[in-house]
Chains A and B, each alone.
Chain A
Amino acid sequence: MTISSFSRRGWLRSVVAGLTGSHWILPALARAAQAQGARRHKACILLFMNGGASQHHTFTLPEREGQFAPIRTDVPGIQISEHLPRLATQMREWTLIRSMSTGQPDHAVGRELMHTGETPSTVQRPALGNFASDQLGVADFELPNFITINGIGTSGPVFVSRPAYLHPRHAPVEIPNPDSAMDNLISGMTEGQLSDAVALLQASQRRFLAEREVPSARLQQSSHDQALRMMRSDRVRAFDVTREPRQVRDRYGDTDFGKGCLLARRLVEVGVPFVEVVYNGWDDHGDGVAARNIRMRSPVMDCAMSALVEDLKARGLLDSTLVVWMSEFGRTPNFGPGRDSSLGGGHWARAWTTALAGGGIRTGQVIGRVDARGAEPTDRPVSAQDFLATLCAILGIEYTREYETREGRPMSFLRRNARPILELLGS
C-alpha cells in the first residue's frame, strides 16, 4: 500500500470539507473509511453490462407504458422489474442511482467516459481499475491487482483499461473465459531448474533496461515477474471455479456472467482489489427487442448478482467490497415506434441507472429521480465524474492525486470539481 489508511482518511476529510464547507458529514465518512482499516484495503467488483442496459427493463421502470411489471422489494417504496425476483428480496443491500446523466450516447465514447472519466482523445488515461491497482493494490502481491473477466466479446475487446502514465504493472490481466481462467501455470521444470533459468532471464532483462529504459521493456519484465509469482503461489487456486461445490455454482448460474461473478468473488476473497466482469450483448436495438432479450437475460443477472452479494455478506466481505452494476449508458424512453426510438431501442445517456452494493455505503435507498417517461433527471443528476468520484471515495482512491506523464505533464484521475455523492457515504 502506498499510503496509510490514516492519511487516506485525512484526504477524504479534506475532500468533503472542500465540498461542503462544513463538517457534518465527517463522522459518517470516518466510519466508512474505517471499514477499510480493518482489512488490507477495500475491493471492487465492477459488473459492466456492455452495450447499454435498459433501465426501463431492469431497475427503473417507467411510470407509464412500461413493458415489464414493477414488483415490490424488501425496501418499501423501491420497485424493480418483475424479472429480477431474487434481487428484489435483497434491495436493502443495494443503492440505485436513477439519475445518471452522462451525455455520451456512443458506445466507444461512453465506455471510455465511464471508465476514465473523460471522452477519448489522444491523451491516454488510466481507468478506475488501473487506479485501484495503483492505490489499493499491494506491490508484490502474488496475483494481479486488476483482473478483467469476459472482456473479449465475439467483437473483440470491449474496453481496454490502459495503465497509461501509471506503472505498466497496473495493466489488467484479461480472462476471456472463466472456465479456463489461467492456463499454462505449470512450468514443468523443477524449482531448481526454473530458478536457475530465471536468473539468466532476469539478467537479460536488466541488461536490456540498462541500455534502453523503455516502458515496453519494463512491462515485459513486470509481466514476467507477475507470471512467476503466480506460478509459485497457492492463491492461483482462486482461478479455478470448479473447486466450488456444485450447489454454489448452480446458484450463480451456469453462464459466462454467473461464472464470472463467482470467479470475481473467489479472487476478491484471496485479496485481489479490483475485478471487472463484463456481460456482453446489451445493445438491444429495435421495437420490443429490449423487452424480448432482457426477459432472457434477467434470470442470468438475477442469479449471479444476488448470489454474489449473498456470498460476500456470508463471508463478512460485503462491507469491504463494493459491487457496481453499470453500462456505458442507458436506453431511450418511449419516443414512439422505431429501431432507435422505441422503449429501450436506442442509446440514452441523459437519464439512466446504475446500482451499487456493499463497500460500507448506505444502501436500501435511491439516489436521484427522473421524469415520468424516464427521459430527464428531475433531481440530483450524476455525471460520470461525480459517479467515479463516488466510487473512489468509497474505495479510498485519491482521485485528485497528481501523477506525471512521461513528458512531465501533471495529471490526475478526475477533475477537482468532481463531486462524490455524499448521501451514499454515511451509514
Chain B
Amino acid sequence: MPTAGNLRLLCSRAILLAALLVATQAVRASEPTLERDVLPILTSHCLACHGGVTQKNGLDMRTHAALMQGGKSGAVVVPGESAKSLLWRKIQSDEMPQNDNKISAANKAIVRRWIESGAKSIQVARRFNPPKSADRPASVAKKLDRIIDEKLRAAKIPPSPLADDAEFLRRVTLDITGRIPSAAEAEAFLASKDPNRRAKLIDGLLQQPEYGQNFATEWVNAFRRISMNTTGRRLGMLPDYTQKLGKALHAGRGWDELVRETLAYTGPYTKTTPEPVFTFLNFDMNAEISVPTLTGNLSQVMLGVQLQCAECHNHPYSDWKQTDFWGLAAFFKNLKIVNGGLGDQIDKKTSPGDTVAITIPGGGARNAGKKVPAKFMLGEEPKLDAAKPQRPVFADWLTSRENPFFARAYVNRTWAHFFGRGFVNPLNDFNDANPPSHPEAIDLLAGEFAASGFDVRHLVRCICLTEAYQRTSRPTPENEKDVALFSHMAVKVMSPEMLYDSLCVALEVPEIAAPDEPKLKTVDSESGPQSVRARFVRFFRGISASEDRTEYTFGVPQTLRLMNQANFKDGGKIVGRLLREHPTEPERILDTLFLNTVTRRPDAGERQKYLAFVTRQSTPQLGFNLVLWTLLNSPEFVLNR
C-alpha cells in the first residue's frame, strides 16, 4: 500500500502536471500522447496502485512500454480500439479507480481519444546515435529554427522579429563572455556593414579568455546550487579551479575529457583540485563521503535525472529502479578521503574477479541489506576488475558518445543559459512524464555536441546562430504569453559575477571595493574567497539558490548598495576621461555613457532630458556622474534583454 507520504507526493506531482498541461495547452497538437496528455491523469488516479511502489495485478502504468505489456489480466491498451482496451472499460464504468477519486468525464474523453488515435508516445528514445561527424553550425542552426518555427506555427504563435544589432551585441557578449560590451566594441560593431558580422562576432567572443571563465563559473555554480539544495552546506570557493577549468575550455579541450578528469580525480585536495568532485561529495574534510548524496547530485547534474528518489524505493512515477540508483552508487563505494585528498580504498582481500557491489544500508530504505552490483543507468552490468578503482570506468561510460543522458543534460543546461529556459525544466528533471518541449531539437544538438567531440564552442555557435536566439526580447501582443516556445527572447537577469564584471566595464575600473572593505595583501586578494570580487558576488548572491535566469534575485539591500555606495556615484574613471577628451561635446559624452552601459544610444527625447539634467548640476563632472548613476541603476543595465 502506498503510504500517506507517497500519496501526498503523488498529489503534488499531479498538481505540477496539471500546471504543465495548462501551460502547454496552447501548443497541444490534435493527437494526444501518453506523456503529455494521459500520464497526468494516470498519475493522479492510477499510479498509487499501478506505479513504482505498488503494482496491483502486476500492472505498471508508468511508461508506454509497461502499459503496452499489460498486467496479469492481459493487455490493457489495444491501440485504436478503446472498446477492447481494459483500461478504457475499467475507467468508463468507474470500476477503477476503486477509491472515490473517480476520473472526470473530460479526462476520460482524453484517455479514450488517446487510445482511439493509436495510443501514441513521445517518449524520448533511450538509444542514441549521434552522427559520425559534426555539421556546420549555420546549418544546424537552420534545422533548429525549422523545429522551433514548426511548433510556433502549430500553436499559431507568431515569433517576434530579429533583434537589432545593439540588442544582439549586448546579449551575446553577456551570454558568452559574462560582461557587457564596452562603448568602443559597440561602436565598431554597430558601424559594421559586413553581412556576416553576427557570426564573426560570435567567433570573436568565443576566442576571448572570458568565454572560458564564464562557462566554467556557470558550471561550478550549477554544482554549488545542487549541493546547497541537497545538503544546505555551502562549499569553500576554489576560484583557482574555476580558472583552471576556464583556461581548459578556452584552450578548446573537450567537455567529456574535462568531466572524466574531474570524476576520476585521485590525489590531494589543493587549490586546483577539480571542485565539482568535492562539491558533489558535499566536501568536508571531517565528514565521511556520503555515496548516496554523491550519486544523487551526480545524476542530477551530469545525467539530468532525479535518480535520488530511487535511493529508498523504485521511483513512483518514472521507471528508475532502486537498482539503478545503487548500481550507479556502487562505482563510488570505495571512494574515501585519504590523507586529506581523494582516493579509493579497496579491501586488500579483494581479488580482480570479485563482483563490485554495494549493500543497500538500513534506515528506511526498502531492500535494506541487499547487494546491488555496479550497473550503468538503464544499461548493463560491466565486467569490472574489483581490485581497481571503478570511478574511471564510470567516467568513461558517462562521457561516451552513445550515452544520451550526458550530452542531453549539458545541451539542455547550455540552451537554458542562452534562452533563460531549457527544453526540459527543471533542468535536472528529465523523465517520461516531463518530456522536452522540443525533443527533436535537443537530440539534434546533443548529437552535434557528441559528434564534435564535445566541443562547447561548436554547441554555442549552433545555438547563437539560430534566429530564435537572435529574436528581440520585445514580445508582440500575439506572443507575449508564450514562455516555452521561444517566440521571443526571454529577459534574463545578470548573475552576480556578470554584474560585477559589467560594472567594471561601465566604470572603466579594474575593481570595485566598498569604501570600508579591508584591502587584503595576500595572494588570495585577486581571486580568493576574500577577494573584492568574491565578496561582491557573495553579497549579491543574497538569498538566491535559483537556477532560473529570468528570476530577479537582488533585494533591497543590494539595491541600496548599487544606489548609495560611493563607487557608483563618482563616475568611475570614465567620466573624467571623457570630460578630458571631449570637453566641449556633451552629446558625445552622453552617447558614450549610454553605449558603455546599456549598449544603445539615447533617443532624441532622452538626449534632451539628460543634457538638461547635466546643466542643472553644479559641474559637468557631477552632472555626468549622476547620469552614469541612473544608467547603472536602470533595469536596462542589470537585465539582459
Q: Give residues in A with beta carbon < 8 Å to B.
A: 103-104, 107-108, 118-119, 121-123, 144, 148, 151-158, 160, 168, 171-175, 182-189, 193, 196-197, 200-201, 203-205, 207-209, 211-217, 219-221, 223-224, 226-227, 230-231, 340, 405-409
Contacts and interface: CB of A to CB of B under 8 A. Distances in A.
Nearest to A283: B232
B616 A121 contact: no
B551 A216 contact: yes
B636 A208 contact: yes
B451 interface: no
B560 A183 contact: yes
Contacts of B474: 211-212
Interface stretch (B4-12, B64-72, B398-406): B4-12
A340 B363 contact: yes
Most A-side CB within 10 Å, residue of B9, B429, B491, B634: B634
Contact of B638 (A158, A187, A214, A220): A220
A197 B617 CA distance: 10
B136 interface: no
A175 to B, nearest CB: 8
A11 B88 CA distance: 43
Contacts of B491: 212, 214, 216-217
Contacts of B108: none
Given A182-B557, A216-B491, 4 more contacts: A122-B426, A153-B232, A183-B557, A205-B634
B229 interface: yes
B233 A155 contact: yes
A188 B566 contact: yes
Given A103-B4, A104-B5, A212-B491, A160 B629 contact: no
B473 interface: yes
B475 interface: yes
Nearest to B564: A184
B258 interface: no
B232 A107 contact: yes
Interface stretch (B350-358, B500-508, B539-547): B539-547
B552 A168 contact: yes
A201 B633 contact: yes
Contacts of B16: 121-123
Q: Top 9 nearest A-B pairs by Cβ distance?
A: A216-B552, A204-B634, A156-B234, A184-B560, A219-B552, A184-B564, A223-B559, A157-B543, A220-B635
B112 interface: no
B639 interface: yes
A155 B627 CA distance: 39
Contacts of A119: 8-9, 12
B425 A122 contact: yes
A155 B8 CA distance: 29
Given A107-B232, A156-B234, A197 B13 contact: no
A201 B617 CA distance: 16
A216 B633 contact: no
B633 A224 contact: yes
Contacts of B641: 212
B629 A173 contact: no
A207 B637 CA distance: 13
Given A123-B16, A158-B232, A204 B557 contact: no
B555 A223 contact: yes
Interface in B207-247: 228-234
A273 B493 CA distance: 29
Nearest to A217: B635
B98 interface: no
Contacts of A168: 552
Contact of B229 (A108, A209, A214): A108
Interface string B443-478: 000000000000000000000000000000111000
A160 B544 contact: yes
Nearest to A280: B232
A107 B233 CA distance: 12
Among A123, A184, A185, A230, max chain B CB count under 10 A is at A184
B12 A121 contact: yes
B564 A201 contact: no
23 contacts: A103-B5, A103-B8, A119-B8, A122-B19, A122-B425, A156-B545, A160-B543, A173-B557, A174-B557, A182-B557, A184-B561, A185-B564, A196-B626, A201-B630, A207-B636, A212-B475, A212-B641, A215-B552, A217-B491, A217-B552, A217-B639, A224-B559, A224-B563
Contacts of A200: 609-610, 613, 627, 630
A208 B475 CA distance: 12
Contacts of A213: 480
Contacts of A156: 228, 232-234, 545
A229 B22 CA distance: 39
B554 interface: yes
B106 interface: no
Contact of B565 (A184, A197, A208, A209): A184
B569 interface: yes
Contacts of A408: 22
Contacts of B251: none
A207 B363 CA distance: 58
Nearest to A229: B556
Contacts of B475: 212
A172 B426 CA distance: 24
A151 B232 CA distance: 12
Nearest to A201: B630
A224 B552 CA distance: 13
B561 A183 contact: yes
A187 B552 contact: no
Residue from the set A158, A171, A208, A212 with the largest chain B CB neighbour count within 10 Å: A212
B509 interface: no
Contacts of A188: 564, 566, 569
Given A103-B4, A204-B635, A340-B363, A226 B556 contact: yes
A407 B635 contact: no
B83 interface: no
Contacts of B569: 188-189
A385 to B, nearest CB: 10
Contacts of B425: 122
Interface in B553-606: 554-561, 563-566, 569
Contacts of B545: 156-157, 160
Nearest to A106: B230
B530 interface: no
A102 to B, nearest CB: 10
Contacts of A184: 557, 560-561, 563-565
Contacts of A187: 563-564
Contact of A108 (B232, B234, B631): B232
